[in-house]
Amino acid sequence: MPNERQFKLRTRFVATRDVREYRATVPVWVTPDDVVLEIGCEWGTTTAVLAERCKEVIATDISREVIERAREKHPGLRFEVLDAFDVPAALAFDRRFTKVYMDISGFSGYRSLLDVISLLTMYGTMLQPEAIVVKSGALKHFASLCMPWREASAQ
């Protein structure tokens, strides 16, 4: 049962279908004051796009190998190893992240939908960013079918 005193997420979730859409959100959602956590950065291609628009970006990936490659390709940017499911390790960066970008392999299929939703909820609750942009075709499709019921609105 919902009740008025329960914690309410304020984070907005932006679902994108592919990498073109994912990167196209950057000029729309990222501002010069933003501190961005990027999860699933691979070789840092999106990191470089983010870095041009925000105050600071910490880019992370579960793979040490890709992080080493990203550091070689973009020596001026910060890359760290992080498993997306280890939220305490993300908190240990000790930053007030205002935006989170999330692109993890396997997140586009419908089987991953519950994982995507649970990760978004965890990051929304623990880091409380203004927005999380996620690459997940399954979430985008699911979200397009959802609408909040409003008593007074024409449905």
Ligand X SMILES: C[S@@+](CC[C@H](N)C(=O)[O-])C[C@H]1O[C@@H](n2cnc3c(N)ncnc32)[C@H](O)[C@@H]1O
Q: Which residues contact ligand X by CB under 6 A?
A: 19, 39-42, 45-46, 61-63, 66, 83-85, 103-105
CB of 123 to ligand X, least distance (A): 12
* Closest approach of ligand X to the CB of residue 74, in Å: 11
Angle between the N-to-C axes of helices 137-145 and 113-127, in degrees from 0 to 180, rounded to the nearest 10: 90
Question: Among residues 46 and 136, whose Cβ is nearest to ligand X?
Answer: 46
- CB-wise, 34 or 79, nearer to ligand X? 79
Torsion angles phi and psi, residue 13, rounded to 5: -110, 125
For residue 41, the minimal CB distance to ligand X (Å) is 6
Contact 39, 102 (CB under 8 A): yes
Query: Toward ligand X, which CB reaches closer, 2 or 37?
Result: 37
Which of 3, 118 has the CB closer to ligand X?
118
Nearer to ligand X, 98 or 119 (CB): 119
Half-sphere exposure of 135 (CA within 13 A, CB side): 20
Shortest Cβ 102–ligand X spacing (Å)? 9
Cβ neighbours of residue 58 closer than 8 Å, sequence gap 6 or more: 36, 37, 38, 78, 80, 93, 95
What are 94's two structure tokens? 């000790």
Least spacing, CB of residue 46 vs ligand X, in Å: 3
Distance CA 110, CA 114 (A): 8
